[in-house]
Structures are given as structure tokens and as C-alpha cells.
Amino acid sequence: MLQLKQHLSSIEIGNTQSFGGLALTPLFTTKSIVTDYLTLDDALHTRACRITELGDYGSVPEILFENLGDLPIFLLDGEELVGAKQNRIINISMLIPGHCLVEVPVSCVEAGRWSVSSAHFSTGDRTLYARARAHKAMHLNTALPTFSRPLADQGKVWDDIEAKCERLSCISETQAMDAMYNQLATSLDQYVSAFTNEPSQIGAIFSTHNHVSGLETFDSSDTWSKMSAKLIRSYALDAVDATLETSSLALDHTPASFLSHCISAEVHSYLAIAEGEDLRLSGTQLAGGALLAYDRIIHLCAFNLNHSTAEVANEPNNVQRPSMRQHKYED
């Protein structure tokens, strides 16, 4: 898509900052955009939205989002929703119009709970960690052409969280992703403090132990500044996962070459859940997505895939029809 390539081609790369196995290369733009939407945190703080389970019983892959205000509300790919019957993450970036009720596609990140902890969802200070978001992006690229709805591979999400909890020696009675973030909160906060947002910065390329992990950009420096801490924590959780340190299979991109790789990626467009278009990026060892709305790229994420990640996409029956993703708690 022309807007996507224009967005990426206009980006300038800054000087890399590093801390504890995580490097952040800032991305800048000369274009000044005044945001005309609320972030989820802002919307919840001002009570401009209500987020609940879908119906009395609920549904693992969907929640109900109601925008109570006039301004659209931006939901970030991987952003965590906490509470209700189980914690979830948002599958793709979305803009929910004012005074609109939408069924939002989500994935469960707390496999061992299906009981009410609160009437409404709140949000945490994190997203799904970057490596799992890469798996999700790859799966969506495969599933969307068939099912026309961004439903993730729920079993893969659960398996990924369980394996990471084990590697990080994290104990959670409900197999909740947030237990890892809570256990490592002090260390992850140190990562957030170590990186400085710069004027006109709209995103970053993240590298974990000398391998590019992914790219995140927004339409404005204001949105980046509000989202950066959540994203830094998500990449930092991979940085502290020692088993990822010496992956010889990862592509050895520089930030500049990875940006070029994103510019040359194949792009497919799908109707977004709410406002705009959902753009899916794919290429050699690359998967990602972008939200195109109001004639600009609101958010873009792209991930560098290693060979072991790519093999997941090629496993037989990896893409399942939504009807096969049975509710884990059904009798």
C-alpha cells in the first residue's frame, strides 16, 4: 500500500540506546500530527469506554468494547486487558469510533481462570511480549485470507506463555502472563528508565542480544510517548529470557536494513474491525501488521522471524477454523 511505504520511507533513524541485552534505535519523522483519538489508558482514565465479557457467559476469543465518548479510541496490538473472567490481549491494532459498540477479537493470556474477578476489564502496563506477538502476526497472515477475521492460534498462545513461565521460573496458579511481568517488575522498570524518548520520535527498532526483534511506529510522537513503556517492557521480557540470547538462527539485520526489509515487504489489505484497513506485512523472515485510518498509518509493527518461528507456520493443521477453537472451559 502506498501510505505504508510512504510512512516507512519518511522515517529517519537515530542513535541506538542499549541496556541489559536490549537495544532501542529511535525512529523519527519530520511530519507533525496532532492526535485525534484517545489511547486506551486515557479512555479508561476519563471513563470514555466500557470493556466487558461478551454476554453473561463470555467468549474466550472476543470481548465487548463500548466507546462512550465522541473521540475514537486506539487499541494497541498485544495490549493486555485485565480482569473480568480471564485476562486477554488485543489481537490487532484498532480504532473504535465514538459512541460505538464493537466485538473485539482477543486472545486469552490466563489459561487457568474462568471466573469473575471484576465486572469490567482494566488495562495493564504491558503488552504481550514481542516474541509471542511475532508468532501471532505470522499466524494472522496465514489465517486472515481464509477466515476474514483476526483470530489468533489460542493454543499456541497458551503453550508459549507456559513455556516462558517455566524458563523464567515463574509460578502462576492460573498460568497468567502478568505473573511474569509482576515477578520481574523491578527489572523491567529499570529497562523503561534506561531509555529516553526524544523529540519527534514516533517509534523504535528493538534488538535483543544483537539481533533485531521488531519495529514499532505510530503516527505521532505523542502516541509513541504514551505507548513506549508498555512496548519496552514487552521486548525487555524477551531480553531477560536467557534461552533467547544465543539464537544462531536469527537474521542478523542492522536497524537500517530491517527498515528497508519492511519497506519491501508484501502487503495485503483487509477491512479493519472498526475504522480503516488492517494491513498485513509478510516477507522473508518477516511478519507484521499496520492500521491504516484517516489516510495515515496509525500504528505499524513488524517482527524479525527466525527459522524455528517460521516452522510453526508450516506445521500441518496450524490454521484451524474458528469452530475448532473450543472454549477451554466448556463442559
* pLDDT tens, residue by residue, 70-100: 999 999 999 999 999 999 999 999 999 999 9
pLDDT at residue 242, as a whole number: 67
pLDDT value for 321: 32
Residue 115 DSSP class: S
pLDDT score recorded for residue 327: 40
Residue 246 CB neighbours (<10 A): 10
Q: Is the pLDDT of residue 326 over 80?
A: no
Please check the confidence at residue 39 and state whether its pLDDT lies above 90. Answer: yes
Write the CA distances from 147 to 142, 152, 168, 318, 321, integer angstroms.
Answer: 9, 11, 35, 14, 7
Averaged pLDDT for residues 50-72: 96
Which amino acid, one-letter code, is at 214? G
Q: Is 267 helix (H, G, I), strand (E, B) or coil?
A: strand
Q: What confidence tens digit (pLDDT) does each residue in 261-307 have?
A: 999 999 999 999 999 999 999 998 999 999 999 999 999 999 999 63
* The pLDDT value given to residue 34: 87
What pLDDT sits at residue 252? 58
Neighbours of 83 (CB within 10 A): 19
- Choice among 14-23, 165-174, 217-226, 318-327 with the minimum mean pLDDT: 318-327
Smallest Cα–Cα separation from 90: which of 101, 104, 73? Answer: 104
| Residue of 99, 33, 41, 93 whose CA lies nearest to 66 | 99
Question: Are the CB atoms for 127 and 80 separated by under 8 Å?
Answer: yes
Distance CA 298, CA 279 (A): 11
Q: Using the predicted structure, report yes or no on whether residue 251 has a pLDDT greater than 60.
A: no
Write down the residue that cell numbers 529497562 correspond to: 191
Residues 6 or more apart whose CB falls under 8 angstroms from that of 173 comprise 112
Q: What is the pLDDT of residue 219?
A: 96
pLDDT in tens, 103-142: 999 999 999 999 999 999 999 899 999 999 999 999 999 9
Q: Residue 32: pLDDT band by 50, 70, 90 thresholds?
A: confident
d(CA 74, CA 40): 6
* Annotated domain spans of the chain: 2-243+250-317
Q: Over 70: is that where the pLDDT of 331 sits? A: no
Q: What is the pLDDT of residues 163-214, one digit of tens each?
A: 999 999 999 999 999 999 999 999 999 999 999 999 999 999 999 988 999 9
- Give the integer Cα–Cα distance in Å for 1 and 118: 41
Give the residue with greater pLDDT, 310 vs 265: 265
| Distance from chain centroid for Cα 258 | 18
**Considering only CA atoms, which of 105, 38, 116, 56 is closest in space to residue 82?**
116
Rounded average pLDDT over 310-320: 39
